[in-house]
Amino acid sequence: MNLSPEDVKHIALLARVRLDDSEVERLSEQLSSILDHFAALAAVDTEGVEPTAHPLPLANVMREDSVSPSLPREDVLRNAPATEDGYIRVRAVLE
Amino acid sequence: MTATATRYETIIGLEVHVQLLTNSKMFCSCAADYSGAEPNTHVCPVCLGAPGVLPVINERAIELISLTGLALHCSIAPFSKFDRKNYPYPDLPKGYQISQYDLPICAGGYLDVVTADGPRRVGITRIHMEEDTGRLLHRVDPVTGEGYSLIDLNRAGAPLMEIVSEPDIRTPAEAREYLVRLRQILRYIGVSTANMEDGQMRCDANISLRPVGQAEFGAKVEVKNMNSFRAVHDALVFEELRQAEALDRGERIPQETRGWVDDRAVTVSQRTKEEASDYRYFPEPDLPPLRFNEAYLESLRASLPELPEAKRNRFLALGLSDHEAETLVETRDRAEFFEALKARIGGDEQRATKLAANWVLGEVGRWANETGQNLADLPATPEKLAKLIQMAEEGAITAAAAKEVFSAVAESGEDPATVVEKRGLATISGDDELTAVVRDAIAGNAQAVADYHAGKESAIKFLVGQVMRATRGRADPQKATDLLAAELDSK
């Protein structure tokens, strides 16, 4: 499977990663070879097999609707790039 | 009917997001009610998407969405799962929203609405469960003039269900009525406060026009940013006209997202968002799927209260008018107060129905409007009010006195009989006492007496009014009229 440079640039945009031209070229090859490995899976005959999103025989793992304390705000904001009045401050997000 | 309706048919579908009334968030134990809280004080490592944390499904949220599905005639999927919806906004720090893609919990329901345009059954395509996002505030740096954003994650992870309608709605009025009915049902079953003004219920609308008679749909425009029923209605009216005029000019309507600007009453084009395929949905590996068995659904069905439509039909069968039935079922507490009152009045059912309806739509409704309180908190409970109504029915107090007693009981919660006694509001029973008052009225109002004798029959009403005033409403108006007539005619 061959990913075009445009495919790679689009994926990079979605992942919010900036790539230069040489990286786009290198990643086109590397990502394509990863997809080739998945192509091997596509060759398996799955006729009559239910789609399986979860391999474990578990269902309805739920919790009771009860409240426990949240984090102190200084801990919440500890990894923020910047803060202002208790908010996390980031570059403008276009809606 | 708008002028455009003759050339084009309007096609509307609504996507309604509803916050559920749980104690805790959807996938963690932070308190879900963040109203009035300082920013970022209802946040934990799960909300933050910290490494190594795992979400766990809130079972109450699943009950509430299932109840909603049942109330809207949906089928509940025996097997359902969560998916990741990937997108890059920082209102969810994980970089994705946990939502549902191809196996929503509820599907295939409907909601009936009636407008001046007639009845309409609006299909419910699906109802799925997801987590709410954080709130973004947009600011401008006063020094650099650059824009920036502030994030409050209190809302991030709050349980949110999305109710998607079929494109069955044909007019803006129907769209509003759909929302009114939907909110009424959501409140009846207690799954949400469903206040649009507070964002607990949010509506996006898809609207397109097609020439009358054409089968395929026109290009779909998604309208956002509407914070009230009126805004939804007005935005759709605006879009209907805008698209019709563009089509009349031979223009093509681009598929796009537009935002409603309330103070200018227009929609404006917004930056087109990513394609659906860019969300790269995939099954949420951290959450095992959901399986519903019939016993679980049966227990939910049993816990559903009677819904407004069924109540309305039952009230109509009791002989109430459309308007009375509609007003009584508007809120669940009003409908239940009415039924409790009617049961306690007892006796002849038609009479009890009429009395209970009159009181609930009259004095009781006035109390609720004036105090802004729930009827459950009215000190004049159905039991006390029924006693008061009995006294009025038996003639022990007059209609005017009954209102005064109600006000007192509504204030203090005292027994109506006690109030009547303390305030001396019992109807004047002895003819002698009333005759004295009648004679005083005649003696003191020579002009009215002259008018009466001159053949002006209505003059007696004035005199009855004088008697009522003198007795502070304790006279039986009919009796007073009879006595007045007897006295006047004997002269």
Domain residue extents for chain A: 5-42
Q: Which of B259, B275, B296 is the last residue before a domain boundary?
A: B296
Same domain for B38 and B173, yes or no, is yes
Residue A53: pLDDT band by 50, 70, 90 thresholds?
A: confident
Percent of chain A with pLDDT over 90: 64
Task: Report strand pairing: B57-58 vs B201-211.
Answer: unpaired
Pairing of the two strands B96-99 and B135-140: unpaired
* Nearest Cα residue to B59 out of B287, B305, B298: B287
Question: H-type helices in B91-227, by residue range?
Answer: 172-188
Domain boundary among B226, B261, B296: B296
Per 3-state DSSP, chain B is made up of helix, strand and coil in percentages (nearest 5) of 45, 20, 35
Would you call B73 helix, strand, or coil by DSSP?
coil
CA B221 to chain centre: 28
Residues B263 and B367 occupy one common structural domain: no
The pLDDT value given to residue B87: 85
Number of folded domains in chain B?
A: 3
Domain of B243?
A: 8-296
- The pLDDT of residue B330 is 94
Domain made up of A5-42: CATH architecture: Orthogonal Bundle (1.10)
Phi, psi of B204 (to 5 degrees): -110, 145
Nearest beta carbon to residue A62 from set B59, B137, B280: B59
What pLDDT is stored for residue B459 in this prediction? Answer: 87
Q: Tell whether B135 and B77 lie within a shared domain.
A: yes
**Separation in Å, CA B91 to CA B139, B257, B369:** 15, 20, 39
* Binary contact (B81, A54; C-beta < 8 A): yes
Does residue B416 sit within a domain? no
Residue numbers in B near A93 (CB within 8 A): 89-91, 136, 138, 149
Per-residue pLDDT, B273: 53
- Residue B1 has a pLDDT of 44
Contact B366, B334 (CB under 8 A): no
Helix (H, G, I), strand (E, B) or coil at B169: strand
Kindly report the nearest CA distance between residue B131 and chain A, in angstroms.
Answer: 15
Chain B residues with CB under 8 Å of A59 CB are: 288-291
Average pLDDT over residues A47-71: 92
Of B471, B474, B476, B399, residue with least CA distance to B441: B471
Tell whether pTM > 0.80. yes
Q: Of B246, B234, B108, whose CA–CA distance to B175 is shortest?
A: B234
- Spatial distance between the Cα atoms of B400 and B468, rounded to a whole number of angstroms: 9
Helix (H, G, I), strand (E, B) or coil at B256: strand
Q: Are residues B114 and B256 in the same domain?
A: yes
Q: Which residues of chain B have pLDDT under 50?
A: 1
Is there a contact between B57 and A59 if contact means CB atoms under 8 Å apart? no
Contact criterion met (CB < 8 Å) for B40 and A76: yes
C-alpha neighbours within 13 Å on the C-beta side of residue B31: 12
Residue with tokens 């459950």: B376
Tell me whether residue B390 is in a domain: no
Interface-testing mutation among B67, B150, B153, with chain A (most A C-beta atoms within 10 A): B150
ipTM: 0.89
Quick one: pLDDT at residue B420?
A: 87
In a domain, residue B313? The reply is: yes
Identify whether residues B290 and B346 lie together within a single domain. no
The answer as to whether B321 is a domain residue is yes
Nearest chain A Cα distance for residue B425, angstroms = 52
Residue B474 sits in a domain whose CATH number is: 1.10.10.410
Q: Which residues of A touch B (CB under 8 A)?
A: 14, 16, 53-54, 56, 58-68, 70-71, 73, 76-77, 79, 84-95
* Residues B331 and B245 placed together within one structural domain of the fold: no
pLDDT attached to residue A69 = 97
Distance CA(A85)–CA(A72), nearest Å, equals 15
* Shared-domain flag, residues B96 and B184: yes
User: What are the start-end ranges of the E strands in B279-424?
Assistant: 282-283, 290-291
Q: Which residues of A touch B287 (CB under 8 A)?
A: 61
State the sign of the Cα–Cα–Cα–Cα dihedral B198, B201, B206, B207.
Answer: negative
Q: From B264, B296, B328, give the residue that closes a domain.
A: B296
Task: Give the list of residues 6+ apart from residue B332 with CB closer than 8 angstroms, or none.
Answer: B187, B188, B305, B308
Are the Cβ atoms of A91 and B149 closer than 8 angstroms? Answer: yes
Q: How far apart are CA B167 and CA B170, in angstroms?
A: 8
Nearest in space to B164 (alpha carbons), one of B105, B119, B118: B105
Tally helices (H) and strands (E) across chain B: 17, 17
Would you give the DSSP letter of residue B117? Answer: T
Mean pLDDT of A51-74: 93
